[in-house]
Structure formats: structure tokens, C-alpha cells
Structure 1
Amino acid sequence: MNQHKKGLAFRALHRGPLFVMPNPWDAGSARLLAGLGYKALATTSAGFAWTLGRKDGAVTRAEALANAADIAAAVDLPVSGDLENGYRDAPAHAAETIRLAAEAGLVGGSIEDATGRAEAPIYDFEASVARVEAAAQAAHSLPFPFTFVARAENFLHGRRDLADTIRRLQAYEAAGADVLFAPGLPDLEAIRTVVAAVSKPLNVVLWQKQSPYTVAELAAAGVQRISTGGSLARAALGGLRDAASELLGPGTLSYLDHAMTTAEVHQFMAGRPG
């Protein structure tokens, strides 16, 4: 598919039913996920940062977009980008990041309202709306369909204020966002409340242990898109930790029983899963 067709396909997925969009962290993980049958992928800022030996948030825009371009080029699927907060504060910078994401081959992307500063973690309301409006205008001025996602980050930064989160999401919707996202919502009831308060599709990210809901329950609540954020990368790192600890500790080799064979990996990398 060319970029225009990918943009159309991605937009169509948001018209229902609910779809799951996993987040690969490099071209290889993207090919594996595509080979499993997913219809769209998204980058992960956290997962990519960990491949560089860094914490989430310690990646430059150029590095993130290069990673996104690698992923988009590796698969014949729509790919959306985790574009953090646009990497600078001004609305013009958010808009510029959207345009650069499109140049990298993406057909969607999210901008969050988190500042990256511990002393003031969330942009104030007016600044947040201005940033979303600028990014949405940039997205909708592109020569192909680009799905723009606006993120309200309150719950990820200790601000457990559902009313303010909904106020922000409603304002982002009015400012032109195509999809809305409030990561960290605590439970299914909060998710239902948000779904009822907005008319654009809501994305929910799978992120916590002992998750309080299932995919089926999210679908019943009206969620239209699920992403995995850094959780698949964490699962992969957990597998690496456990295998390496087994080898270093008891010296048993049961980890080999769970590993993919080289032939299986090669099939996915070649785009021909068994």
C-alpha cells in the first residue's frame, strides 16, 4: 500500500469494531507483529528508548522519527507514531512534528499535554488546546489521511482528576483531534465515563499488571482502539531477564523450550510467518 491507501485503511479501522494496535519498538518486532495478523501498528517512545539503554523521554525527535521510519518501511501496514509532546513547547513545534512524522511514512500520530518537567508536568489548559489545534491543522492539511490523536496525561502524572481530563478531551475534540487518549484511567467505570463524554474514538492503552479489564470488556464499554504502549517491550525484556537469570543461577536451560526457532524468526523477518 502507498501512504494514501495506508491512511485510508487506518482511518477505516476507527469506524469499528474495536481493534488492537500493538506497539513494536524496532523493525524486527514490527515484522513479527505484522506476521501475526495485526492490521495497524504504532511506535512506542518507551520501548524505543530502552533499546538505546535510556529511560522513556530521553530520545530526541530526530531519533524517534528515524525509528518510526524504520518501522513504517519494514511493514505494509498503517503505522502511527508516539510523538510524545512534540518535543518542544510551542504549538508551531507540535505542528512541525506532525509534518515530519508524515515525511517519515507515518499515517497517524499522537501529541500529549505533558511537559516533561517535574515541577509543572501538564501544560495549562489554554496552551494545551492551542497545541492540539495547531497539530490537528497540520495533520489535516497533509495530502493524505493522517489520523491525529490528542492525549490528556493527567493520570500518568499523579493528577487523578477525571473532570479535568474530560474537559481537556472535549476541548481537544473541538480543536480537531480525530482520536482521544487518556492513558492511566484507573478502571472500567472511568473509561465508560470518558466514552460517554466524547464523540470521537477513544484509545485505551494496556499498561498495568493485574489489569482490571479484558479486551472484551473494553469493547463492551465502547472503546474503539487498544494500544499496548511499552508493555510488549516490557514483556520481551522480562523474558530476557528470566532466561538470563536461569542460566546464571541454576544453570538449567528451560528457556530454550520457549524460544522461537531460528527458522521461525527468519519466516517473520522475511514476511512469511509459518
Structure 2
Amino acid sequence: MSGADRFRALHHGRVPGDPLVLPGPWDAASARVFADAGFPALATPSAGVAASLGYADGATPAEEMFAAVARIARAVDVPVSADVEDGYGLAPEELVERLLEAGAVGCNLEDSVDGVLKDPREHAEWLGEVRAAAGDRLFLNARIDTFVRGVDDPDAAIGRAALYVAAGADCVYPIDAPVGVLPLLRSGIQGPVNVHALPGEGPSPAQLGGLGATRVTFGPGLQRRAQGALREIAADLVD
């Protein structure tokens, strides 16, 4: 079974309250920590990787992001999915090849650029081209940015999800959807649903699973907690 097939299988057959929990490594060392802890797969956060490389979120050059993903994937034996933002303007075939060369088994692809939502039908068409180029070699997680772009109507997210799933997305990710609308999203979306969690805050992954999450990711939250812990260590050393 290929890495992508292993990763895809982890998303299916899950029961409520038992979502797939995917920590987000920002470098090889953090990836090894999560893999050694027993997590079956990992999902890199673009913002966390950006911070580790000295860039603001969204400002990492594509070359450096793919190189960072490659170091992470090389460091562990579990499948690694990569957040590659909006695809960096690459043609679908090149995007797929770059991901495969880096050792990724999947990717996040978001539907807004520079803070503006893309036309959902045009984005679905592009996702379809990525799927055609990838075949079954990559797991496509289609991020839906309506809630982070000020569109609070759950039906808008559900409508985008339907287009993206029809285009070949394996999973959809209505990022920052309010907890209260998760059951509605779950009932209106076909296939796996990714939900964002804040480590140490709000509902637990198990609770999010009970509300409809198939899988739970943390964005840059784990990297920021680690940075906070390091800041405390540094302060103790100064004292």
C-alpha cells in the first residue's frame, strides 16, 4: 500500500468521538517527536513552517517550503501531508511533482488568495486539474476559507464543499468554522471533514469528533506553544 493509500485509509471508518488527530510539525526534530509519540500521520502547517524559517505566514518562498517538507518527510516513517497554501501559482502538474519529490502523501490547498476568496467554480476546476495530475498518489484536503474571510453563512461553506468534493477532493477543511455549526456542516458535507483545534483551549479533539470532525489539525498552534515554552526557558536563563 502506498503512503497516500495508507493516509487515505486513516480517514475512513472512523466513529464519532474518534477523529484522526494530525499534529503539525514545523521541522524534522518536531516531526520525530510526534512520530515517536505514536501519531500515525502528520500534517505540516504553513504558518508554523514559515515561523521556523524566519518568514511571516504566507511569505515563504515555494522552494523553501518544499525543502522544509522534504526534510520533515525524510525524518519520519509515517505519512506526511503538506500545507502548500494556494499552490504558489504552480501549474497542477508541477505542483503535484514537487509534492511527490518532497515525499508528501497529501496537501492542503486553500481557496483564497491575498485575503480574497476565489470563485468557487473556478477553484473547483483547478482542484480537478490537480486531481487529474495526481491520480491517487496524493490526498487532497480542500481548505474552505469562507469563515476566515467574513462569510458566516454555513451554506456558503457547504456549497463550496460540494463543488470541491465533486472535483476530486478527498477531504474538506472549513477552517475556523464556529463549533456550533459543526453538526450542520457535517450533515451537509459528503466525505471527511477537517476541523481546526486550538491546543489546550476549547473542545478536545474527541469532542470535536463528536460534533462531526473526521480529522483534527492544529495549524501553527503547536509550534507557537513550543515557542512560548522556549521563551520561558530563555527568560529563566537570563535571570
- What TM-score does the superposition give when structure 2 sets the normalisation length? 0.92
CA 41–210 in structure 1, closer or farther in 2 if over 3 Å, else same: closer
Question: Root-mean-square deviation (CA), in Å?
Answer: 1.8
For residues 92-140 of structure 1, the C-alpha deviation after alignment (integer angstroms, 9 at most, x for no partner) is: 624431231012111111211011x24xx11122222122211222221
1:32 corresponds to 2:33: yes
1:184 corresponds to 2:179: no
CA contact (8 A) 1:83 1:97 kept: no
- Aligned pair partner of 2:140 in 127, 148, 158: 148
CA contact (8 A) 1:98 1:109 kept: no
Residue matched to 2:108: 110
Query: Which residues in structure 2 correspond to 1:246-257 (within 5 Å)?
Result: 246-248=236-238, 251=239
Secondary structure of residue in 2 paired with 1:85: coil
CA 95–194 in structure 1, closer or farther in 2 if over 3 Å, else same: farther
Q: How much has 1:43 moved relative to structure 2?
A: 1.2
CA–CA distance in structure 2, aligned partners of residues 163 and 94 of structure 1: 28
For residues 198-225 of structure 1, the C-alpha deviation after alignment (integer angstroms, 9 at most, x for no partner) is: 12101112137742x2222222223211
- Aligned pair partner of 1:244 in 214, 234, 238: 234
CA contact (8 A) 1:195 1:222 kept: yes
CA contact (8 A) 2:142 2:173 kept: yes
Residue matched to 1:63: 64
Secondary structure of residue in 2 paired with 1:20: strand
Greater mean alpha carbon deviation, residues 77-86 or residues 218-227: 218-227
Secondary structure of residue in 2 paired with 1:226: strand
Residue matched to 2:151: 159
CA–CA distance in structure 2, aligned partners of residues 55 and 137 of structure 1: 32
Residue matched to 2:88: 87
CA 209–123 in structure 1, closer or farther in 2 if over 3 Å, else same: farther
The AA in structure 1 aligned to 2:87 is: G
- Aligned pair partner of 1:195 in 160, 181, 186: 186
Residue matched to 1:15: 12
1:129 corresponds to 2:124: yes
CA contact (8 A) 1:81 1:110 kept: yes
CA contact (8 A) 1:207 1:230 kept: no
Residue matched to 1:262: none
Percent identity for Structure 1 against Structure 2: 37
Secondary structure of residue in 1 paired with 2:5: helix
CA contact (8 A) 2:146 2:152 kept: yes
CA–CA distance in structure 1, aligned partners of residues 162 and 171 of structure 2: 11
Larger gyration radius, structure 1 or structure 2: 1
CA 164–108 in structure 1, closer or farther in 2 if over 3 Å, else same: same
Which 5+ residue runs of structure 2 have no aligned equivalent? Answer: none
Residue matched to 1:217: 207
Secondary structure of residue in 1 paired with 2:234: helix
1:205 corresponds to 2:205: no
CA contact (8 A) 1:129 1:171 kept: yes
CA–CA distance in structure 2, aligned partners of residues 122 and 11 of structure 1: 27
CA–CA distance in structure 1, aligned partners of residues 177 and 123 of structure 2: 19
Which 5+ residue runs of structure 1 have no aligned equivalent? Answer: 252-274
CA–CA distance in structure 1, aligned partners of residues 231 and 153 of structure 2: 36
CA contact (8 A) 2:50 2:60 kept: yes
**Total equivalences in the alignment:** 235
- What TM-score does the superposition give when structure 1 sets the normalisation length? 0.80
